[in-house]
Amino acid sequence: MADTTATFDFSTWPPALSKAQLDAITLYATTYALSHGVLYLPPAKHQPTVPTAAIHAPISLFPSPVPRRLFEYARKIQRTYNLLYARIAMDEEFLDRVMGADEGVGKVDDFIGQLWKGWKQLRDAGLAQPLHLGLFRSDYLLHYALKDSLSIKQVEFNTISVSFGSLSQRTAELHRYLLAATRYYDASPYFKLDNFPSNDTIAGLASGLAQAHEAYSVDDSQILFVVQPGERNVFDQRPLEYELLEKYSIRIIRQTFDELALSASVDPVTSVLRISCSPDLQPSGVIEISTVYYRSGYMPHEYPTASHYATRFHLERSKAIKCPTVALQLAGGKKVQEVLTQPGVLEYFLANEEKYGRDTLPAEEINNVRKSFMGMWGLDVGEDLQNPDHDAMKAGREEYGVRKAREAASSLVLKPQREGGGNNIYKEDIPPFLDILPPQERSAWIAMELIHPPENFGNYLIRAGTTDLESRTPVKAEVVSELGIFGWALFGGPDKQVVEREVGWLVRTKGKESNEGGVATGFSVLDSLLLVD
């Protein structure tokens, strides 16, 4: 069920603690975080090659309550989402129409257009590797549609560089430790171990990477992590590396786009991707790559020159399995999310016997996914929203989507085709933004109805990274918590089969006054779950 009758009183959260209790539990939490890798590299203009210091990541003191049935519902529909986005990534005609540079978003969004054009050229030349790997995260907020009806609604579906899998597991372990060490001073009857779900995201995400490596099936090949220069979030990435080495004997190499521009080569005959290195590190001086795992490459500023796009497409050209492919990155666009809400589109991907034979889903499973949608539309959409025919929707599209957004601005967010936080336009900022948005750029934006999370819901937040002791004191604030569910899918090949799993969860909590939600961008803290009635 997507909805539940609200019984838990969110306004009672967090439970009251005395100052002595708060001081004690803060010390427990911060020292545990520092001892167990809940860490960031400290802010610096240039990160040192060999790190010399670390700070604990921003964290909450209490886990955040989520109704157990809604948590289980989100986990259940993740597997349908895994299948859905795998099939979208394999549907070139659909992606060309929605995201392409000829008639879709890429026509007016240069970043999307550059990705699509490069992908189109590679397709025309013939792709060397039919398999795709996706490590996914579907993000949700609790939503009150009516006073006593609580549901969860999807914020977005992420297909590239999904982060905080490792740190989400560590934060869940931190809160379970606080329960064991202090019982949270018996401040709430909900503080029972059964209400603190385990979270094995590190093993789950690593199993997806290992599955791709096994499918590549070349001895002594390695997985390439494509990372950002000066990456602060290394302690979220390294546990995956350690899991792959310790459990699967798979070795990892980490490089940036700038490093790969010099080190990466693709064999013109076999399309094997090799990375050159010092013979002191590898006797042959080269490493064959089985899987390319992107922890970067999702924002335009990461492609400051044409050579950065060239490097991305050079890797895409190879036989290595990409996580994600350009196609799968495009599938994660906000425009795709909006198009999925249009009549018949979910059925096209999930109940299309002509296209997928017997591998279709029953109406109940499809409707469970649809229940997680908020209302949304493209700013370029025509008034005939019930007509899924693309050509028919072009008629009258110049004004309707914008006019509807103006009229409902107080209950909307506008989203572009961007990841990473800090890109959206909210409420009263929408009309003046529409005044200056060129008509030809409307197709790059979607309007989405705002989700209404519980009111008067709080937590204690701890941020680090400063020498000011007062700023490191837990701050009690009214908050909003976002639940993310992780999954992976390996798919493609002649049979178009999809192997997929649901593999863990994440909670990020932010002050209610903040519209954005990224931990790395400073808006949110890492949190975990408390399951309630």
| Element spanning 415, H or E | strand 412-415
What amino acid is encoded at 115 in this protein? L
Mean pLDDT for the stretch of residues 358-362: 94
500 among the known binding-site residues?
A: no
CB 58 within 8 A of CB 6: no
Residue 110, pLDDT score: 95
pLDDT tens per residue, range 35-94: 999 999 988 878 888 888 999 999 999 999 999 999 999 999 999 999 999 999 999 999
pLDDT of residue 6: 66
114 is in an annotated binding site: no
pLDDT at 3 over 50: yes
Residue 70 confidence (pLDDT):
97
Q: For residue 43, what is the DSSP state?
A: P
222 is in an annotated binding site: no
pLDDT surpasses 50 at 393: no
Amino acid at 363: A
Percent above pLDDT 90 for the chain: 82
- pLDDT value, residue 225: 98
Average confidence (pLDDT) over 199-211: 98
3-state SS assignment for residue 384: coil
Q: pLDDT value at position 470?
A: 47
520 pLDDT higher than 70: no
Annotated binding-site residue? 296: yes
Q: Which of 6-10, 124-128, 305-309 bottoms out in mean pLDDT, i.e. has the lowest?
A: 6-10
Q: How confident is the model at residue 175 (pLDDT cuts 50, 70, 90)?
A: very high
Measured between its terminal Cα atoms, the distance across the chain in Å is 14
533: which 2 tokens? 């009635």
118-125 own/partner pairs: CB under 8 Å, 24+ apart: 118/309, 118/312, 118/313, 118/316, 118/326, 119/313, 119/316, 119/325, 119/326, 119/327, 119/330, 120/96, 121/313, 122/313, 122/316, 122/317, 122/326, 123/92, 125/317
As a whole number, the mean pLDDT across the chain is: 92
* For residue 388, pLDDT beyond 60: no
291 and 213 Cβ atoms separated by less than 8 Å: yes
- The pLDDT value recorded for residue 402 is 93
Per-residue confidence band for 14, with pLDDT thresholds at 50, 70 and 90: very high
* pTM for the model: 0.94
Task: Give residue-wise pLDDT tens across range 272-316.
Answer: 999 999 999 888 999 999 999 999 999 999 999 999 999 999 999
Residue 398 annotated as lining a ligand binding site: no
Strands 222-226 vs 252-255: parallel, antiparallel or unpaired: parallel
Q: State residue 472's pLDDT score.
A: 61
- Look at 89-103, 108-122, 387-401 and tell me which has the smallest mean pLDDT: 387-401
Q: Residue 412 contacts by C-beta under 8 Å, 6 or more apart in sequence?
A: 405, 426, 427, 430, 447, 448, 449, 450
Sketch out the chain's domains with CATH numbers.
Answer: 3-376+477-532 (no CATH), 377-445 (3.30.1490)
Residue 502 has pLDDT above 70, yes or no: yes
Check whether 418 is labelled as a binding-site residue: yes
Q: What is the set of active-site residues?
A: 137, 156, 158, 163, 334, 415, 419-420, 508
Which pLDDT belongs to residue 251? Answer: 98
pLDDT(246) > 60: yes
